[in-house]
């Protein structure tokens, strides 16, 4: 069974890039959200195995959404996505319970490695 993933980013092309990387590697993208509040709603609705979450978004940022999702499900697996230069926010995200982080621009191998590590898959 494919692992079900929710992609959260305010930039549609970034969601498309992540979705492309994931689907080519056998993951099922069950939903997308453009901001943190949508992410929380989609998480409740879809119960994905993992969420990729941008840090900087309108409405509700990724760290706030991460904390809200962790309130819903303390076992939620969330990987933060950040641009270069957001190290302080990445540290906040890890302290708030993020499993890992990936840096934009995305390197497909790093995205897959972070997801496999977070959901406990072994490399093939």
Tell me how far apart the alpha carbons of residues 72 and 87 are, in angstroms, rounded to a whole number. 26
From first to last of its 124 residues, the chain has per-residue pLDDT tens of 569 999 999 999 999 999 999 999 999 999 999 999 999 999 999 999 999 999 999 999 999 999 999 999 999 999 999 886 767 888 889 999 999 999 888 899 999 999 999 988 755 4
Tell me how far apart the alpha carbons of residues 53 and 39 are, in angstroms, rounded to a whole number. 8
Tell me how far apart the alpha carbons of residues 75 and 60 are, in angstroms, rounded to a whole number. 21
pTM exceeds cut of 0.85: yes
Tell me how far apart the alpha carbons of residues 56 and 60 are, in angstroms, rounded to a whole number. 9
């Amino acid at each position: 069974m494919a692992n079900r993933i929710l992609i959260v980013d305010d930039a549609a092309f970034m969601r498309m890039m992540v979705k492309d990387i994931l689907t080519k590697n056998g993951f099922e993208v069950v939903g997308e959200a453009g901001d943190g509040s949508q992410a929380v709603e989609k998480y409740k609705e879809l119960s994905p195995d993992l969420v990729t979450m941008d840090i900087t978004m309108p409405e509700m940022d990724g760290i706030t959404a991460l904390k809200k999702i962790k309130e819903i499900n303390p076992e939620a697996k969330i990987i933060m996505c950040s641009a270069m230069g957001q190290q302080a926010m990445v540290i906040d995200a890890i302290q708030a319970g993020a499993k890992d982080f990936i840096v934009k621009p995305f390197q497909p191998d790093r995205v897959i490695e972070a997801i496999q590590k977070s959901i406990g898959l072994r490399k093939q």
